[in-house]
Amino acid sequence: MADPKNPGVRRSYQELFLISFLLLFFELACIRWFGSYVIFLTFFTNVVLLGSFVGMSVGCLAASRRTNFINWTPLVCLIAVVSALGIIYLYQTDHSITVDIGHQYSPDRVYFGTSWRHTDPNTSGIPIELIAGYFFLLVVLMFVGLGQVLGRRFDAIPNRILAYSTNLLGSLAGIVGFGVVSYRWLSPFWWFLIGLGGCCYFARGSLKTRLFTWGFALNTFILVGIAGLGLFNQLLEGPGKREVHWSPYYRIDYRPKSLDISVNGIGHQGMKKIATHKGDYFIPHLLSQAIQDSAKSQEPFEVLVIGAGSGNDVAAALWGGADRVDAVEIDPIIHRLGRRHHPDKPFDDKRVHVHVNDGRNFLKQTDRKYDMVIYALVDSLILHSGYSSLRLENFLFTQEAFEDVRHCLKDDGMFVMYNYYRQGWVAGRLTRMARETFGGHEPVVLQLNEAGESVLEIKENTKGGFTMLFARNDNKLSDAFKNQGLFWIHPRDFKNPLTGFGATAPAAAEGQIRWQGLRPAKVIESESAKQVPRDSWPFLYTREKKIPAFTRNGMLIMGGIAALLVILFTPKRAAARFHWTLFFLGAGFMLLETKSVVHLALLFGSTWKVNSIVFFAILVMTLAANLFVLRFHPKRLAPWYIALIASLILNIFIGPEVFLGMTNAFKYIGSGLVVFIPIFFAGIIFASGFRDAEHPDQAFGANIAGIVLGGLAENFSVVLGFKHLLWIAVAFYLFARLFQRRTASV
């Protein structure tokens, strides 16, 4: 071991820590920023994450090359930022441009906000696969220089385990750093200032070359800062038309004049003065009042609103006479905008109790019983994390989640969900889940077309209008429709005493707007409706258990780019002895990380804080494995492989639902042991293999390339579910063991 007091070695450790911090921080920054600006890129799983990994892998493999690729990183970053802003400019100014995400008129997977521009079902737009492939390549090129610096610092440190431990410590610091940025709601200017500032520190070459690098870095974070402050949007809409806020989840655009909120460039919600707004928000409360027992009318009426957003649904609940409203919203800035700007000021009412939390987590934690639980336009428009194809709301729409809702209801309480569910098979699936949850009682489904009239039948491919679903432990609501006729509401006067059930519409004075009659739709359940989402397969908006065509195309594009670059940059002397063991260890570890994130999100919520803590804990367990190898120097790895595969199989059969009913102490300890012990075993195997690698830059590059394979394999969760995704991880680890034995015998 080289003397750690040697200034050269000490500097290598310091710079390895710094580049490791920079890589993880900048990776998280790019995932957030490009997902916020590139049209619908956030729905295409893992593009930025995998691009950064490919770039790191290629950079490590190119560590021995004389060219300093880090000098080009700010230029490539500037090109990527200009491309992103250019696309959003064209998309917002030229309304003939459409982006095709799996043909959203009849999709394999529904994405909210992706079909509104299509005027002709036969018209195809720009394939999202091409956009994803273009930005994937740009992200790869951005991270090649950073990966090269990482590989060179690994080569400069003789002790592999201490080097890898330093890398992990730097990565931990990167997670903490970006967590602080997210907690403070800082704009992307600061993200890129830190990221590109680090690139400038590592720039090498003549003064002219470094000035070239610094100049592009300066231009990039100035441009990002201008966009992040909303000045870019003033070019599109004029001064003062829009405010830009950065929450831990979204880029949020708020328009003060119209009180509209967009997230990541997609219209999300608008704040309305509830008394003058159309009656959709009032329908659940009017129906509840119409069938309420007179004896119960004197008791406190309590409502839970999940997806409270900026406050419309809360205001409607207060208008409906609720004595208590628990308002759950996951995004703190959307809530803050509602508190400050909603014309009805619903969050200032003493009856309202706000919970900035994940909705499913709140359902599991509360011991209160409600008269009504509302899923209020729950659609997150964003992935849960860069590691999986889940959206934030996926765990709200599973059979187990509906059971949690039923548990929170009083005996005669009502579960209400409403949204533009887009496809008939989605409404059919929700209907089936509600019926199975509420003891076989048929839910009431109301769907309104563009004219505000009731749709009478919902089939597989019915294009969904505004749909409301009401589920109870009895048939009181469905019997009211069956025995008393339509439910009549007046679109302007919702407190009219004539509102209620009746065979015919109430009389209207001459010149008045006619009454609106609501009647339930008959839901024809198709084969797709029988694919009931569960916590192990939480994909409400995926029609079948298969990978959608556009996702397969994207996998091929990204996989092809990654394979080509890895082949081109692998040194010729190392091509014949590629580190296949470390490659498959990386693939298995990526799936292990994905399963861990999903498992703990279900137990503790899908918030950004939970995700950050989980990634931090994963790195801590890996660091602990490193220290174990450093202290005990394991020689035989067969026992560790056996322990790893046994613990993975245990994870397959012990799902997170096992811990849901436990006390917090047992839930934390039990789930932590099940999730993190396999990571510890995997860390021991990797650290031992990395310790013995002749060329650490190439070994680490091969491992990161394997992570890319694991990231692409995550898409099979749509087929297998997250629990059984671990069988693929088991296969990867068996391949790793096989190649390790072959290498040892050479």
Q: Please give the pLDDT value at position 542.
A: 87
Q: Please give the pLDDT value at position 745.
A: 44
**Would you put residue 284 in left (φ > 0), alpha (ψ -120 to 50) or beta?**
alpha
Give, to the nearest 10 degrees, the angle between helix 664-691 and helix 608-632.
50
pLDDT in tens, 262-290: 888 778 889 988 877 766 788 899 999 88
Give the domain 269-379+399-478+517-530 fold: Rossmann fold (3.40.50)
Q: Please give the pLDDT value at position 746.
A: 40
317 neighbors 349 (Cβ within 8 angstroms): no
Most confident of 327-341, 368-382, 652-666, 707-721: 327-341
Residue 124 predicted with pLDDT over 70: no
Residue 387 predicted with pLDDT over 60: no
Q: Please give the pLDDT value at position 293.
A: 75
- Global pTM reads 0.89
Residue 146 predicted with pLDDT over 90: yes
Arithmetic mean of pLDDT, 724-730: 94
Structure tokens at 356: 């900035």
306 neighbors 362 (Cβ within 8 angstroms): yes
* Residue type at position 577: R
Name the average pLDDT for the chain. 86
Arithmetic mean of pLDDT, 204-216: 89
Residue 470 predicted with pLDDT over 60: yes
Residue spans per domain, the chain: 11-230+538-745, 269-379+399-478+517-530
Question: Nearest to residue 387, comparing CAs of 625, 681, 31, 138?
Answer: 31
Rounded Cα distance, 613 and 597, in Å? 10
- The two beta strands, 370-376 and 126-127, are unpaired
Rounded Cα distance, 717 and 706, in Å? 18
- H-assigned helices in 38-72: 47-61
Confidence of residue 244 (pLDDT cuts 50, 70, 90): confident
Residue 438 predicted with pLDDT over 90: yes
Beta-sheet strands, E only, within 307-408: 324-329, 352-356, 370-376
Read off the DSSP letter of residue 423.
Answer: B
Go through 345-370 and write b for each residue having 16 or more CB atoms within 10 A of its CB, e for each that does not: ebbebeebebbebbbbbbbbebeeeb
Arithmetic mean of pLDDT, 340-356: 96
Arithmetic mean of pLDDT, 691-714: 89
Between vectors from CA 142 to CA 139 and to CA 147, what angle results, nearest 5°?
Answer: 110
Q: Please give the pLDDT value at position 394.
A: 86
DSSP three-state, residue 470: strand
Residue 444 predicted with pLDDT over 50: yes
Share of the chain above pLDDT 90, in %: 46
Arithmetic mean of pLDDT, 206-219: 89
Residue 114 predicted with pLDDT over 70: no
**Would you put residue 293 in left (φ > 0), alpha (ψ -120 to 50) or beta?**
beta
Between vectors from CA 678 to CA 677 and to CA 679, what angle results, nearest 5°?
Answer: 90
Residue 120 predicted with pLDDT over 60: no
DSSP three-state, residue 95: coil
Confidence of residue 498 (pLDDT cuts 50, 70, 90): low
Residue bearing the bigger pLDDT, 366 or 238: 366
Q: Please give the pLDDT value at position 295.
A: 59
DSSP three-state, residue 443: coil
Q: Please give the pLDDT value at position 611.
A: 80
Q: Please give the pLDDT value at position 589.
A: 94
Q: What CATH architecture is 11-230+538-745?
A: Up-down Bundle (1.20)
